Amino acid sequence: GPGDRRSVSSALHIAPMIDVTDRHFRYLIRCISPLPTLWSEMTWDRAILFNSPDEPEHAQNKSPPRALESIIGFSAQEHPIVMQLGGANPDTLARAARIAERRGYDEINLNCGCPAATRGRARNNYGARLMFDPPLVAACCAAIIAAVSIPVSVKCRLGVDERDSYEELVEFVTTVAGAGVNHFIVHARKAILGLDTVKNRSVPPLRHEWVFRLRAAFPELRFTINGGITSLEAAQQLIDDGMDGVMIGRRANAEPYMFARAGGVFEGAGGPPTRQQVLERYLEYARRAQAENWDDKLPEQVA
């Protein structure tokens, strides 16, 4: 059954980051190391459906249509790769997940961690706001699991606004695991919905110990810890201490070459490539990516 699906990923993950982890950044990481599991930027379920000719939403698209490949495309070298979806509707999430699976993604993840805006156009029910409603998250995950045969995981925070007790976090994990999710990636801070995304990475206190408590309370599930992890040594230490996986975010953006040593610190690949080798590999990729216009942008916008 769905509970038996083992994740294809390694223990080391690079976090989904808006405007960072597009296919070009992910390929740069692959020029540096085969090891980390790569994640898409959070991708709205409706962005996929509105640009999929076979889906009913395609006819309702009022924006200029985009090539689906410019939204969900990736290079074969990027495996293992996770598609992170944003949304809160079981039906649209399930159909978007099916399209991502067909495109070759190795895992589907539901975003329950981004601090959704509290006002304005971006005030949608997605990300950390979903933590207020564990049964809805369970329904979304059940629909995705029924639609695909690849693993399905959830990325969440410790809590959201006033729903921030350890007991409520346990209730969230219990409810969502009941739908068949067996891998939780936990950003070890709560989300404060009135704060911007930058402050949400620093103002709420970091509580790695809560994720270790979950680890002990749910031995049948897998937990990957995220938040404030700035080196491969720190990542390895968390795994030695019992975590199933570790996710690195901003540090990966600031210093992608840190992963050159991943093969030495973690099991896996041999000696690190030099910076020169990385650049040569990446230049070869860039020539191809620009010629084939993978972003569906005009050359003058890319130059």
Residues annotated as catalytic are: 114
- Radius of gyration (C-alpha) of the chain in whole angstroms: 19
Closest of 61, 187, 175 to residue 115, by C-alpha: 187
- Token pair recorded at residue 105: 């993604």
**Residue 153: strand pairing partners:** 109
Closest of 107, 114, 119 to residue 81, by C-alpha: 107
What is the C-alpha separation between 5 and 164, in angstroms, rounded?
30
Residues in the chain: 303
Q: Are 96 and 48 in contact (CB under 8 A)?
A: yes
289: part of which helix (H) or strand (E)?
A: helix 275-292
Q: How far is CA 251 from the centre of its chain?
A: 15
Q: Is 17 exposed, middle or buried (0-12, 13-18, 19+ CB in 10 A)?
A: middle
Cβ-Cβ contacts under 8 Å for 144 (sequence gap 6 or more) = 85, 90, 93, 94, 97, 108, 110, 152
Is 44 in a helix, a strand, or coil? strand
